Chains A and B, each alone.
Chain A
Amino acid sequence: MADGVVAFTSFTCAELAPALTLARDLKRRHPEWRRVGVLVDHAADGLDESWRDAFDRVLEAGALYGEGWRHFVFKHDAAEAAAAVKGRALLALLGEGAEKAFYFAPEIAVFDALDELEGRLDAASILLTPHQGEPNEAAQAIADNEALAMRYGVYNLSFLGVRRDPAGLALARWWATRLDRASYDAGGAYNDQKHFDLAPALFGGVEVLRDPGCHVASWNLSRREIEIARDGRILVNGRFPLKFYNFANPYGDAAILTERYAGRRLAVYELAAFRRRALAACGAPAPGREGWAYGRFDDGAPIADMARRLYRRDPEFGARYPDPFAAGPNTYLAYLQANRPDLL
């Protein structure tokens, strides 16, 4: 891979629409960046593959793990798996020569050029965006937003910027290692975020992006007022151009939080409506009816969450059944059928 800036995202086929939309946003704003999609899924037979054209390259997540992939991915549900591969993907991209790498989750929409962020990685090694950029005042807002950050992590890892320098590479190695377990370890898909609370202490060159135009989301609308100026700029807190917005809310009901904190600020609802239209019109193929490729055993039987948890809780299962998806005699599935039919 040529040197330069790489922007990557990770997704399953169920997230093709937001991933495709993100890739197009990035192409519009930064055609010079290389766009890499990390697919944590297998496209169903017959699925229109033209969506791949939105990316310069699509990495199959399994290629990052080699033989251990099926053993690894079995321990995750779809959301956990899409998060779990980010560290290894980053490490691989930096290892291939990318000078700067940005991760964007598919739920992010980019509204402006990100040259300033790219420039900041000339000085900083690591860019992080906090859930909250300034203190809340109302008790409800503290409970909704600051308490959330304390629970799930100070920084939101739907965005990350890393420069290929010693500190950046050290962080990538650390993250990839932690994600071998972190994505599910403490019972949630967002525990790698909690690990990142340590990042400013563990690594040099960490910059916390305090620009309120970066990473606006339902969890920080209490302190970010969005308006559309007469000159057509979308501004945050009166003067900061909106750079990117995260339309997800994995911690609760995005609609309720958005309404609670956007109130009568019409621009927020215009953005949400635009997002719905963009996803509907992006032309992404509908995922196959079979669902996530790693959501079923090889014989087609669905994998229950409890069966995953049992497998990852006891390392002996991993040693005994290195390919837990396999069906037939002497497999994890056979074990469950014989001993834990309640998990099937």
Chain B
Amino acid sequence: MRCVQEPAAESRVKLIQAAYEAAVAQGRYEAPKARRAPSRTRLYRDGRLTLLAPYFDYAYYAFENPDFSASGLDELEHFNFFGWRSLRNPAAWFDTAYYLAGNPDVLASGDNPFWHYIFKGRAEGRATQPPRAAERAILDALVAPEARAAEPPPDLPRLGAEALAARLQARLAGAEGLLYCLDAAAPAAPSVIPGFLCLQASPLRAAHTLKLLPAAWSQTRLALDGETLGVATDAAIAKALDALGEALPPRRILAVRTLVGASLEGLLAVEAALAAERRLLFLDDFSSLCESPRLLRNDVAFCGAPAPDSQGCAICIYGESRHALLAGLERLFERCRFTVVAPSAETLALWRGATALPYEAATVIAPARLEDAPAPQAVAEGGEIGAEGRPLRVAFLGPPTLAHGWPTFARILEACGEFVAYAFHHFAAPEYLRPSRNLVSLAVEGQLRDLLIAHRIDLVAMANEGCEPFSALALEALAAGADLVTLDHSGHAAVLVERERRGQAFATDDDVVAFFTSGKAIAYARERDRFPRLIQAVRNEDVLAALIG
């Protein structure tokens, strides 16, 4: 049933949440049961392969094993004759090496292990992959930050202090101000502040935060108002600024967007030479708390930045270097007395709760917000969500990493991909797509919001394990009329769920998966579908311009 009259947005989300909670309390939800007919009905001379074909993930196998086509066989034949013997996997959820290692009887039999699982092992409850496989693969490959390989130097001109000063002087004439902005990479659209030149500085990452390199060794990539200048050492930058002296504009601002890759000595040297009137430290990430900018202990679990002498830090790959980092941060903050700029009150609260670093002031400015589109489009569909022909459309956005919540999405896909009640999508840059059975992979070119609208996505799964202070993807999803399913500690996505009441946030990834397997996701989407979809626009804010201008 649909409401004929659309209520105001605020009351609408309250109605949806209340109706969903009532549905759950009254048990008005059920786990999906109806499975879709196998999309592959290939027939093989070997009848066993014909029987196996409905379970085999052709798309996954072809993507992971592009060499199969040279054999003249199709994917399943290749796997059956060669693939499993070289420990290739027939689907993302089946680890051939693990299955053989854990089942010596299968190994001894010489049988295709996937065949064994589908027709025997599954009924016996045998495991197809290690628990926490994605996380354990990361744990096995952890490298201490100080031992990580340095970024190869870019093919850019090297600038000495004199040359840099000359380049700057030529552009500085008449400028009212100079913004020295330290960031991980030069943004596609540098801040535009009337009367200001923006000198964008991106450290060549020698792996870890506030690395203890002398200013004469730490190298920084420079761009001026978007035009790449070259690479200079921090000592050369400081010397150039010193040499410019009176030629420097009267207003000078230091903005630190991230400390990832920065050199403490280099930053202090530049700060001293710049003699900035304001020093801004942005909480775009948590690099001012830990070397893990999203506070991922061992790159696998959100930690919340506990005390550096805690047991959690003691077993973390970032724990040992955190002591040196915090000592460096103390020096930096004592000297700079930053104004701390957070994208949300929640981010600022997390940061304040985890550090006693001194600062001048703190402010919250959202880099973007939702606003009503000039002509909101109400997209209506027939049919009940979860029924044949109207699946609940669930999307994952961006790179398939743990930090973005891919392992959780993969579990949802594995558990629910066969049900007609669901349709799963992956939207990302082409290099991030991972084709697989029951997953529609879509390369993002152009506006993500418009793609999500076009594919009528209902829910976006953002079980980000790391804490993301600001998520443009989450805002795009909401603007497209989709709601979010996230973790309490995911950062901005969870903040949006709380503020906008658009979606659900859970304590654990298991809870997120259960939301889908239990059918509660369908119950939620049905309540939501009683109202026309709200399409909005994302309005970006130039925070630097707002602060300085």
B-binding residues in A (CB < 8 A): 111-112, 228-234, 241-242, 256, 259, 262-264, 266-267, 269-274, 277
Contact = CB atoms under 8 A, between A and B. Distances in A.
A264 B132 contact: yes
B303 A232 contact: yes
Contacts of A228: 297, 301, 303, 311-312
28 contacts: A111-B311, A111-B315, A229-B312, A230-B303, A230-B304, A231-B310, A232-B303, A232-B306, A232-B307, A232-B313, A233-B311, A233-B312, A234-B312, A242-B311, A256-B102, A262-B131, A264-B510, A266-B135, A266-B300, A269-B132, A269-B135, A269-B139, A270-B139, A270-B297, A272-B139, A273-B139, A273-B140, A273-B298
A269 B136 contact: yes
Contacts of A231: 306-307, 310
By CB atoms of chain B within 10 A, which of A111, A263, A267, A274 has the most? A274
**3 tightest CB-CB pairs across the interface, nearest first?**
A232-B310, A232-B306, A232-B312
A257 to B, nearest CB: 12
Interface in B13-72: none
B314 A111 contact: yes
A239 to B, nearest CB: 14
A241 B310 CA distance: 11
Contacts of A264: 131-132, 510
B131 A270 contact: no
B315 A270 contact: yes
Nearest to B313: A232
A269 B137 CA distance: 10
A266 B311 contact: no
Nearest to B141: A273
Interface in B310-337: 310-317
A149 to B, nearest CB: 25
A259 B313 CA distance: 23
A187 to B, nearest CB: 25
Nearest to A263: B131
By CB atoms of chain A within 10 A, which of B136, B139, B304 has the most? B139
A259 B310 CA distance: 26
Contact of A234 (B130, B131, B311): B311
Contacts of A241: 311
A271 B132 CA distance: 14
Contacts of B142: 273, 277
A247 to B, nearest CB: 13
B50 to A, nearest CB: 34
Given A228-B301, A256-B102, A259-B131, 4 more contacts: A112-B311, A228-B303, A231-B306, A270-B300
A267 B317 CA distance: 14
B315 A271 contact: yes
A229 B136 CA distance: 19
Interface of B: 102, 130-132, 135-136, 139-140, 142, 297-298, 300-301, 303-304, 306-307, 310-317, 510
A272 B298 CA distance: 12
Nearest to A267: B301
Contacts of A266: 132, 135, 300-301
A270 B303 contact: no
A228 B297 CA distance: 10
Nearest to B143: A277
A272 B300 CA distance: 14
A167 to B, nearest CB: 34
Contacts of A233: 310-312
A270 B306 contact: no
A259 B102 CA distance: 11
Contacts of B298: 270, 273-274
A261 B303 CA distance: 23
A144 to B, nearest CB: 15
Contacts of A229: 312
A150 B440 CA distance: 54
B325 to A, nearest CB: 16
A228 B489 CA distance: 15
A267 B136 CA distance: 11
B406 to A, nearest CB: 16
A274 B315 contact: yes
A271 to B, nearest CB: 6
A214 B132 CA distance: 25
By CB atoms of chain B within 10 A, which of A111, A228, A233, A264 has the most? A228
Nearest to A25: B314
B311 A232 contact: yes
Nearest to B130: A259
A127 to B, nearest CB: 22
Contacts of B135: 266, 269
B21 to A, nearest CB: 26
By CB atoms of chain B within 10 A, which of A241, A266, A271 has the most? A266
Contacts of A234: 311-312, 315
Nearest to A276: B140
Contacts of B140: 273
Contacts of B316: 274
Contacts of B300: 266, 270
A277 to B, nearest CB: 7
B339 to A, nearest CB: 28
A322 to B, nearest CB: 46
A233 B304 CA distance: 12
A283 to B, nearest CB: 14
Contacts of B306: 230-232
A255 to B, nearest CB: 10
A263 B131 CA distance: 6
A228 B307 CA distance: 13
Contacts of B132: 264, 266, 269
Contacts of A232: 303, 306-307, 310-313
Nearest to A256: B102
Given A259-B130, A264-B132, A269-B135, A277 B310 contact: no
A74 to B, nearest CB: 36
Contacts of A272: 139
A178 B10 CA distance: 77
B139 to A, nearest CB: 4
Contacts of A270: 139, 297-298, 300-301, 315
Contacts of A267: 301
By CB atoms of chain B within 10 A, which of A234, A263, A277 has the most? A277
A42 B142 CA distance: 35
Nearest to A228: B312
Nearest to B465: A266
A111 B102 CA distance: 31
Nearest to B300: A266
Contacts of B303: 228, 230, 232
B209 to A, nearest CB: 19
A269 B306 CA distance: 20
Contacts of A111: 311, 314-315
A233 B301 CA distance: 14
Nearest to B127: A259
B489 to A, nearest CB: 9
A270 B316 CA distance: 8
